[in-house]
A and B are shown apart, each in its own frame.
Chain A
């Protein structure tokens, strides 16, 4: 029952959703909407798992005085602060909640991602080598795209920009289309394997 019932649930729900796409009847649409509503509610509880996991790991780190344990206090303090600001002081429109999002969350998140600009510069300098013909083709294609909005190379409506637009709309399109088709076929195959019970990794171990 620990494995059979979940497999049955996957099969029935998967088959229903696949067939429902082709059945516009009112009762099929009713069940479809019903399933959508339930899925969202279940999903909310599932996401709470992630938050609980973070709290558990941080508390354990503090308890065991692991390496960098003071920073676990910062994590819990940030979590608690946001919850207090909203729950105790006016919900989503709370001044402190909004201010912390605008002046703490946004700059931190944006700056973390902006570090990638430097890493890409370093990668360009140290690793981007035209060692083989394939790497050279990649390099030339990248240079064409990088120079397409450079006004110092000539008029912006000129040959370089036209070449860049052609690269995007022809060979790049062909490459990405092949990847998309491959992904689509892979997704359909994996979905079929899951529905038929051939693929069971989602169940975890006993």
Chain B
């Protein structure tokens, strides 16, 4: 067996250790990486930036803790931008562990805005969280008729009608647009039902695993913007002028990707070497 053949039979735990080592070292180092902004992310930023004070944005936080690494930075960046422009945010969470993620994001951003700008974000007046209901398809359809069909009260069991910001807000036609941050297949329901049936303007923030699959909807105009994974979150943070966790993670991504590419190349060199050896015999 030659060197590359032996290398291709390496215990996978050494592969894990190399990847872990590269990530840990680059997390601890201090350096920055420039980020290129793509038009599909800029479209979402420009949409939120162009809203007037007092307009409404529906933020659908449909992800679980397993996707929080990519999704939370998107949620935080959009919420900070919207609240800075006095845009009112209606939040919903249609994934099983989504309510906890949405509430965590809401409470953290409310604290952060108060700390950094002195502005008081009041629950019920500037932002509200309607909570979770099962079967996203049915809930999305029902919100297109009336939010109160699925959400007669909010996450904290306060009647929806008693929330000041929900006065006069009946369905999607009363909000400027929907930004969906999700790691689940519920995005198909939002596109088909919210945009397809009710023509609600829809932008999506998706995990890296799913992002490449939704470019056809971007081109056909069914979604007007797309943030793909950690890169999308970092692009949004750059646009918003608030570099945070995603920007920090992207510099680590560069090196981790180089390690993966080296693994692929080494594996293929070993494969070609053993194939040539087999042919020579």
- Interface set of A (CB-CB < 8 Å, partner B): 21, 29, 32-33, 36-37, 39-40, 43-44, 47, 92-93, 98, 101-102, 105-110, 112-114, 117-118, 120-122, 124-131, 139, 143, 145-147, 149-152, 156-157, 161, 165, 168-169, 172-173, 176-177, 179-180
Q: Are B266 and A156 touching (Cβ within 8 A)?
A: no
**Secondary structure type dominating chain A contacts:** helix
CB neighbours (8 Å) of B215 from chain A are: 168-169, 172-173, 176
Of residues 1 through 44 on chain B, the ones whose CB sits less than 8 Å from some CB of chain A are 8, 10, 12, 15-16, 19-20, 33-36, 38
CB neighbours (8 Å) of A117 from chain B are: 19
Closest 6 interchain pairs by CB?
A109-B65, A113-B66, A125-B263, A156-B36, A36-B142, A177-B216
Q: Are B150 and A156 touching (Cβ within 8 A)?
A: no
CB neighbours (8 Å) of A173 from chain B are: 215-216, 219
Partner of A105, one of B97, B139, B212: B97
Name the residue of chain B whose CB is nearest to the CB of A46: B134
Q: Are B65 and A118 touching (Cβ within 8 A)?
A: no
Q: Give per-residue flags for B130-141: 1 if the beta carbon is below 8 A from chain A beta carbons, else 0.
A: 000111001101
Of residues 208 through 264 on chain B, the ones whose CB sits less than 8 Å from some CB of chain A are 212-216, 219, 231, 250, 253-254, 257-261, 263-264
**Secondary structure type dominating chain B contacts:** helix
The yes or no answer to B104 lying at the interface (CB within 8 A) is: yes
- A177–B212 Cα distance when bound, in Å, is 11
CB neighbours (8 Å) of A101 from chain B are: 100, 104
CB neighbours (8 Å) of A106 from chain B are: 65, 68, 100-101, 104
Contact A109:B66 (CB < 8 A) given known A121-B260, A124-B260, A124-B263:
yes
Name the residue of chain A whose CB is nearest to the CB of B228: A168
The yes or no answer to B47 lying at the interface (CB within 8 A) is: no
Contact A147:B36 (CB < 8 A) given known A102-B100, A129-B268:
no
The yes or no answer to B146 lying at the interface (CB within 8 A) is: yes
Q: Are A93 and B156 touching (Cβ within 8 A)?
A: yes
